[in-house]
């Protein structure tokens, strides 16, 4: 097949996306597909002459920025400065032409303008086939507050949380009632998240008023709306879902702090165990909940669902990732491997699931 692997972009998760894209591109080439690795924002500036479909068999790699994922998110202003028309058109030179010529586009983007449904909506209008969820389910899953409301509506346990908008008072409301936690109040510690962020960018734990104000300030760097959520002390798990069926559960145990951007992508910062060392009953519960989230949010193709379990064994769904990372440090490929699916086969199954 002729496949464009679309990576990069201008979200804080740019480096992660480029790493995922490189892995996917290499695997698809090894499986015999004719693939192009393309930065959605920088594109390919040179003139393409002749039949576009022939280009897939001629070139190697057109995403030049791939580097090891650093401990901090990249400088997006520097990336934007490399395009004079960047504010007028998100898609770089030749991106749409090449995507239209492909049999399918493997979207390896993460975060804003990639995982939030905007690109999916554009591709739907242009008749471009792509991997992952459609524009509507992508937008719903990207919105943490809306997702949480749907979790509650459908009986999926989730930590109590409140919406806070930039400009509002930063004092933590008291007396919030919720059936989702044993205590009727939301209280410190809390976790503050940019509502439409990913890879734990714009996420902080706050244990007092000063830390809470600083956490909101950090979240507002990435979104005008923040989710303030009861912090669950305990163990963290993730469950990949492919074609509606859950993978084995993986446990994530950072050596220090919580599973933030640094701990997600720096080698040796986190201990990951798959299958997780939990009872079969707990594993089955997490898998059933992951599959239910997949249905409730109307997800397509594949996804990854994140959970916490407190000291009493109660589990809580945090969020769904509609374009899970496929980098060397990512969780989904590790879960698939335990299920007997090597990385190249995983990529091909995702492509085969496109409708």
Task: Please give the positions annotated as active site.
Answer: 13, 199, 265, 304, 306, 319, 321, 325
The token pair that represents 47 in the structure block: 């003139």
User: 250 with 276: CB under 8 angstroms?
Assistant: yes
Rounded to whole angstroms, the Cα distance separating 249 from 239 reads 5
> Please, are residues 308 and 232 in contact by the beta-carbon 8 Å criterion?
yes
- For 247, the token pair is 């993978």
Cβ pair 14, 62 in contact under 8 A: no
Strands 234-242 and 302-310: antiparallel
Distance separating alpha carbons of residues 3 and 97, to the nearest angstrom: 13
- Token reading at 131: 């991997």
* Cis bond before residue 275 (omega within 30° of 0): yes
Q: Which residues contact 284 (CB under 8 A, 6 or more apart)?
A: none
Distance CA 50, CA 333 (A): 37
Q: Which residues of 220-243 are buried (b: 16+ CB within 10 A; e: fewer)?
A: bebbebbbbbbbbebbbbbbbbbe
Cα dist. 283→274, 275, 304, 331 in Å?
A: 11, 9, 15, 16
Per-residue 3-state assignment (H helix, E strand, C coil) for 277-303: CCCHHHHHHHHHHHHHHHHHCCCCCEE
Distance separating alpha carbons of residues 157 and 193, to the nearest angstrom: 18
Note the Cα 218 to chain centre separation in Å: 19
Pairing of strands 2-7, 34-39: parallel
């Amino acid at each position: 097949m002729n496949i464009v692997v679309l990576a990069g972009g201008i979200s804080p998760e740019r480096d992660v996306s480029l790493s995922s894209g490189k892995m996917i591109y290499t695997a698809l080439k090894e499986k015999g597909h004719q693939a192009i690795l393309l930065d959605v924002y920088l594109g390919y500036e040179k003139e393409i002459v002749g039949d576009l479909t022939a280009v897939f068999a001629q070139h190697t790699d057109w995403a030049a920025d791939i580097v090891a994922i650093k401990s901090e998110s990249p400088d997006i202003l520097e990336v934007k400065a490399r395009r004079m028309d960047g504010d007028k058109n998100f898609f770089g030179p030749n991106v749409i032409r090449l995507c239209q010529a492909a049999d399918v586009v493997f979207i390896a983007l993460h975060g804003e303008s990639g995982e939030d449904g905007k690109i999916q909506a554009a591709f739907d209008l242009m008749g471009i086939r792509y991997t992952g969820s459609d524009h509507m389910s992508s937008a719903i899953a990207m919105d943490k507050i809306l997702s949480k409301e749907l979790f509650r509506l459908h009986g999926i346990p989730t930590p109590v949380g409140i919406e806070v908008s930039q400009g509002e008072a930063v004092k933590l409301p008291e007396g919030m009632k919720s059936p989702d936690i044993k205590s009727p109040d939301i209280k410190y510690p809390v976790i503050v998240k940019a509502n439409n962020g990913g890879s734990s960018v714009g996420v902080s734990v706050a244990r007092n008023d000063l830390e809470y104000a600083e956490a909101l300030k950090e979240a507002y760097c990435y979104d005008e709306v923040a989710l303030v959520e009861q912090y669950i002390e305990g163990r963290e798990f993730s469950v990949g879902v492919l074609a509606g069926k859950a993978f084995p559960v993986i446990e994530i145990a950072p050596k220090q702090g919580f599973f933030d951007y640094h701990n997600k992508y720096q080698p040796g910062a986190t201990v990951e165990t798959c299958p997780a060392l939990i009872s079969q009953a707990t594993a089955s519960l997490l898998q059933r909940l992951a599959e239910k989230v997949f249905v409730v949010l109307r997800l397509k193709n594949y996804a990854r669902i994140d959970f916490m379990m407190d000291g009493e064994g109660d589990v809580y769904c945090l969020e769904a990732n509609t374009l899970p990372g496929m980098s060397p440090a990512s969780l989904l490929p590790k879960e698939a491997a335990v299920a007997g699916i090597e990385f190249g086969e995983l990529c091909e199954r995702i492509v085969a699931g496109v409708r």
